[in-house]
């Protein structure tokens, strides 16, 4: 984070103008952390990754700053291997062999773009020497935030609650506006909309004791694991996009020429926005740790700010941040739609990679199935346990539950903000959410 913090300070203040400025930063890092001359390519590639660029074999900086200034997106791959670090690692005590839970063999390859990689970020989180890193997407975003003619919205994941110590959501909104964002929007609001959609889908598809339904909400690792490794189960997956994608599509529909930045607890969301059937909805993704470093680098002290509070999402939508939240939310709406339904929603909630695999194996073999709604999240505890969170999962779960309970809106059906958005889209009843062609396009994978 030190490299990223220095880049933020210098680029924001206009101190990064040409290659000599980047070389000066690299030299300062070398001296500060006692690197050797042979380590300069490693340092320079970490600078490139922190700028949202690919690592290069060449040591010299070329047109990196020009590319950042003209770029409106960060390209694939999201995660890359950086040469030069592994020689410092004690091979007998190396965690790399077990870091990847999907057998992608990233440490034996030059890149992380092979088919088994799900961009979960476990490899980045487990390497103590920086041999694998994810691109940071803030420097290209700075140009947009300073462009007064381009409205940029910060769509924040439900898991963001409590991630900044002793800071309210209203103070966070104020801080983001100070950075240049038009407003901060709770993605839990769009989770409310998708909850209604998935409740209708469940009622339509689950008609007997043998039927089951997999939610696609929230976790791209769960979605891609199912799609890539269990195609026979994938056909039971909801066609709905994640709340993140829904937020970008709907905000851009409502606010012409706007840009949307998602603020996330994980790395996988950076890859999700680049999927061919989803790209264009979200322009950039920042994670909680990156945002924390941005505030620190720019001397924005959130705890001293005047809060701007808004109640945008329901209790149910805010619970999407933790394991079981999606199941709870959808069940409340299913029961509301058909209180006398004969086939009740029986949820199975799993978190962690091994549990996700186990439930998919059970579904493949029709083993021990006494449930009909399956929610999977790759991180233990759900999104609150993501690899780019600032606080531990137990505290984060408690904060999410408390914030949910503080909502004046209990269920998605009670959320007037949902009604208002649907009306702006030409929908005048919740039943139209499964029939209206425009809303179907906004909420479904292409």
Q: What 8-state DSSP symbol labels residue 81?
A: E
What's the pLDDT band for 75 if we cut at 50, 70, 90?
confident
What's the pLDDT band for 99 if we cut at 50, 70, 90?
low
For the chain, what is the largest distance between any 2 Cα atoms, rounded to a whole number of angstroms? 73
User: Which pairs count as long-range contacts for 337-341, CB under 8 Å and 24+ apart, including other chains?
Assistant: 337/199, 337/200, 337/203, 338/203, 341/203
Mean pLDDT of the region 116-145: 84
Q: Which of 438, 445, 446, 435 is nearest to 196 (CA)?
A: 435
Q: CA 296, CA 197: separation in Å to the nearest integer?
A: 40
Q: CA 330, CA 411: separation in Å to the nearest integer?
A: 10
Position 304 pLDDT exceeds 80: yes
What's the confidence (pLDDT) of residue 189? 97
First to last CA, the chain: 36
Positive/negative CA dihedral, 305, 308, 309, 313: negative
The H or E element that residue 27 is part of is helix 19-32
Q: What percent of the chain has pLDDT over 90?
A: 75
The structure's pTM equals 0.93
Position 211 pLDDT exceeds 80: yes
What's the confidence (pLDDT) of residue 169? 97
What's the confidence (pLDDT) of residue 424? 94
Position 431 pLDDT exceeds 90: no
Q: Which of 154, 185, 181, 168 is nearest to 286 (CA)?
A: 154
Mean pLDDT of the region 427-446: 87
Q: CA 121, CA 222: separation in Å to the nearest integer?
A: 13
> In the beta sheet, which residues pair with residue 377?
351
Position 412 pLDDT exceeds 80: yes
Q: What 8-state DSSP symbol labels residue 45?
A: H
Q: What's the half-sphere exposure (Cβ side, CA atoms, 13 Å) at 147?
A: 15
Q: CA 322, CA 179: separation in Å to the nearest integer?
A: 28
Mean pLDDT of the region 3-27: 95
What's the confidence (pLDDT) of residue 107? 45
What's the pLDDT band for 97 if we cut at 50, 70, 90?
low
Position 1 pLDDT exceeds 80: yes
* pLDDT tens figures, 364-402: 988 778 999 999 999 999 999 999 999 999 999 999 999
Whole-number mean pLDDT of the chain? 90
* pLDDT tens figures, 261-300: 999 999 999 999 999 999 999 999 999 999 999 999 999 9
Q: Is the preceding omega at residue 77 within 30 degrees of 0, hence cis?
A: yes
* pLDDT tens figures, 182-195: 999 999 999 999 99
Do residues 218 and 243 touch, judged by C-beta distance below 8 A?
A: yes
């Amino acid at each position: 984070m030190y490299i990223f913090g220095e880049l933020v300070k210098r680029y924001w203040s206009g101190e990064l103008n040409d290659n000599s400025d980047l070389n000066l930063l690299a030299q300062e890092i070398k001296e500060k952390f006692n690197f050797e001359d042979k380590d300069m390519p490693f340092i320079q590639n970490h600078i490139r990754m922190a700028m949202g660029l690919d690592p290069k074999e060449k040591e010299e900086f070329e047109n990196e700053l020009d590319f950042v200034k003209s770029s409106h997106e960060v390209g694939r791959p999201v995660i890359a291997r950086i040469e030069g670090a592994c020689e410092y690692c004690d091979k007998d005590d190396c965690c790399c062999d077990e870091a990847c839970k999907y057998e992608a063999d990233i440490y034996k390859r030059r890149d992380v773009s092979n088919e088994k990689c799900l961009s979960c970020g476990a490899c980045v989180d487990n390497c103590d020497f920086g041999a694998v890193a994810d691109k940071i997407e803030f420097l290209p975003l700075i140009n947009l935030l300073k462009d007064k003619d381009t409205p940029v919205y910060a769509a924040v994941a439900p898991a963001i609650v409590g991630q900044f110590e002793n800071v309210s959501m209203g103070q966070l909104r104020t801080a983001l506006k100070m950075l240049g964002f038009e407003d901060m929007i709770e993605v839990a609001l769009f989770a409310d909309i998708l909850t209604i959609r998935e409740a209708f889908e469940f009622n339509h598809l689950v008609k007997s004791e043998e039927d089951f339904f997999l939610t696609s909400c929230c976790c791209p690792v769960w979605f891609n694991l199912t799609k890539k490794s269990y195609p026979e189960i994938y056909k039971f997956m909801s066609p709905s996009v994640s709340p993140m994608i829904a937020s970008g599509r709907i905000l851009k529909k409502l606010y012409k020429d706007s840009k949307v930045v998602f603020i996330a607890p994980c790395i996988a969301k950076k890859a999700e926005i680049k999927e061919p059937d989803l790209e264009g909805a979200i322009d950039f993704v920042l994670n909680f740790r990156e945002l924390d470093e941005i505030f620190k680098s720019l001397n924005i002290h959130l705890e001293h700010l005047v809060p701007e509070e808004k109640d945008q999402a329901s209790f149910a939508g805010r619970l999407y941040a933790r394991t079981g939240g999606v199941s709870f939310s959808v069940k409340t709406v299913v029961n509301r739609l058909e209180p006398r339904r004969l086939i009740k929603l029986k949820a199975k909630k799993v978190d962690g990679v091994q549990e996700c695999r186990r439930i998919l194996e059970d579904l493949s073999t029709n083993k021990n199935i006494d449930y009909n709604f399956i929610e999977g999240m790759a991180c233990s505890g759900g999104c609150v346990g993501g690899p780019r969170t600032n606080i531990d999962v137990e505290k984060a779960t408690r904060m999410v539950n408390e914030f949910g309970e503080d909502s004046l809106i209990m269920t998605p059906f009670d959320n007037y903000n949902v009604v208002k958005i649907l009306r702006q889209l030409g929908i005048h009843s919740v039943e139209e959410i499964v029939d209206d062609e425009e809303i179907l396009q906004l909420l479904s994978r292409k």
